[in-house]
């Protein structure tokens, strides 16, 4: 089966639905002739207006403006003085939204990911938003990158049909009743803490 790139129409929908359906897709990072990739096993939805956890809650600013534009672009931001986080924008133009990619299961180029993470002996390669971006060499230079067209960062559709568990988002203290964190059931590459209902089974 030849790989199919995830296109703009997929992203331009209701954000929690996009996040849910991104589980199982392949995230591809190309660096010259090298290819790093991994299956998305964990993602979170952030919306505008009514979502108090979102960067877009409170209106448009220079930082979050990419969330208001065309779907399918990268929103990369820097947190806690150390880490970059990768999001993909969603919704129609004018409606802010993004999906935070929190963890992947490494598929191609894991030796290079290990080097990017600081060499042998590293325990957690790609389970966590900051760890994942470090493994894939993703930083703010990729902010605004168009994943529908880019040669260096894009997604491919996966198998689909795997079990997905939903839970409250990590590191947010508001809107806990929203279960907008989605994890592949049983995957050992999901970050801690595991959501309620998660079972360590497959892999």
Partner DNA sequence: TAATGGATGTTCT
Partner DNA sequence: GAACATCCATTAT
Closer to DNA by Cβ: residue 174 or 201 = 174
What residues does 146 pair with on adjacent strands?
73
> Nearer Cβ to DNA, position 118 or 160?
118
- Our CB check for DNA shows the closer of 117 and 178 to be 117
Least Å from the CB of residue 60 to DNA: 8
Residues binding DNA (CB under 7 A) = 44, 46, 53-56, 58-59, 61-64, 75, 77-83, 85, 87, 98, 100, 117-118, 122, 124, 128-132, 169-173, 191
The runs of H, that is alpha helices, within 15-155 are: 15-22, 110-116, 129-135
Contact 193/52 with Cβ under 8 angstroms?
no
Contact 180, 45 (CB under 8 A): yes
Residues in the chain: 203
Contact by Cβ (8 Å): 51, 57: yes
Residue with tokens 């049909």: 161
Q: How far is the CB of 4 from DNA (least distance, A)?
A: 26
Pick the closer one to DNA by CB: 15 or 185.
15
Given the complex with DNA, which of 102 and 148 has the nearer CB atom?
A: 102
Minimum CB separation from DNA for residue 161, in Å? Answer: 26
- CA angle 14-15-17, nearest 5°? 70
Minimum separation from the CB atom of position 18 to DNA (A): 13
Tell me the closest approach of the beta carbon of residue 77 to DNA, in angstroms: 7
- How far apart, in whole angstroms, are the C-alpha atoms of residue 171 and residue 39? 23
């Amino acid at each position: 089966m030849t790989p199919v790139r995830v296109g703009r129409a997929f992203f331009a929908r209701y954000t929690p639905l996009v996040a849910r359906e991104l589980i199982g897709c392949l995230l591809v990072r190309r660096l010259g002739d090298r290819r790093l990739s991994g299956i998305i096993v964990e993602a979170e939805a952030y919306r505008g207006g009514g979502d108090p956890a979102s960067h877009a809650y409170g209106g448009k600013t220079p930082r979050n403006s990419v969330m208001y534009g065309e779907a399918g672009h990268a929103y990369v931001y820097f947190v806690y003085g150390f880490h970059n986080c990768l999001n993909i924008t969603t919704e129609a133009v004018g409606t802010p939204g993004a999906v935070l990619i929190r963890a992947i299961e490494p598929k191609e180029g894991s030796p290079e990911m290990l080097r990017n993470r600081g060499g042998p002996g590293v325990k957690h390669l790609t389970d966590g938003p900051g760890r994942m971006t470090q493994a894939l060499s993703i930083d703010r230079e990729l902010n605004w990158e168009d994943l529908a067209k880019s040669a260096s960062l894009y997604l491919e559709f996966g198998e689909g049909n795997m079990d997905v568990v939903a839970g409250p988002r990590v590191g947010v203290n508001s809107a806990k009743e929203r279960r907008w964190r989605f994890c592949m059931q049983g995957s050992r590459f999901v970050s801690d803490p595991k959501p309620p209902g998660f079972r360590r089974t497959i892999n």
